[in-house]
Structure 1
Amino acid sequence: MNIINDPTMKEIVDDFCDEAMKLYLELDSVLDNLEDDPSNQTEMENFGQVIDRVMGAAKSIGADEIGKFCELGKLIGYKASQVTDIPLLEVVVAVLFDANDLLKRMTKAIKTGESKGLESLNTQAFVTRLKWLSEKFKSIERSSVAAKPKQPIGQADIDNLLQDLGL
């Protein structure tokens, strides 16, 4: 039994859900700014940093699906911060809005005890967009804001996360 399903840990899970929902609102604000100016690389990297906070907390309580989904959003944000093609960035922002919406729904399902994972959400159109973006990002090697990343995150990492999520 992981923390999410342990009734004695409900308070911790509820705190995670409440904090995650606040961070999702922060992500909405970042995405609103990106919708106005998709070329704002600072905001794109900010998206990756905020979603990273949710990812760490999710993994620490055993919400692995949310953690992997956040990791995917983080990688997309960091890869997109290296793109200058405005039409592509507009698509990225739309996909990140969708990702944030799915994260909210997944988190709400955990809090209410109705969590059945991604399979219970209608994700087919979203998956199609993720795969399309994955193809567009194949040529981008840097996907971290670190000056000297310990291990570069590449396209294989995105592909592995999609596979781990069953997408």
Structure 2
Amino acid sequence: MDTLLLILGFVCMVIGILGSFIPVLPALSASWVGLLLLYLTKAVENNYWVLGITFVLMIVITVLDYVIPAKGTKKFGGSSYGIWGTNIGLIVGILAPIPFGIIIGPFVGALIGELMYDSKNHQRALKAATGSLLGFLASSFVNFLFCIIYFGIFLTIVWQNRILLF
């Protein structure tokens, strides 16, 4: 059973890292489940501090994944129309069966929202949409970084308990 949990945990870690780039896959939450599966083995002693801290970080970063693109829009001079457009575009981008929809959606949403607010100022709309794109890229980078950190924790724990696991 320990071997199965170890393999499933490793698969969750890989899914988490891939999910940083492929939005259909869960990113940090899959990595956290991988850590949880590792701690469910009989070979690894439970460490509720590690699980608790990584869980809280996972929740905070998951929420920030939806907030950062909107904040990027606002930082680059976008209005509330652009922020709403970013959020709507993010949802449409996730659901749309187009390649890179998660990247294109917030950008186009912010652009449309800003053009609805002021249809004559194309430069401002493009600047706000660029802020949305940069916000999305920043949140993806943070997600990837923490997935790598969780994977490092996973590998460290496996290495420390290798005799009992293998």
TM norm structure 1: 0.37
**Whose helix fraction is larger, Structure 1's or Structure 2's?**
2
TM norm structure 2: 0.37
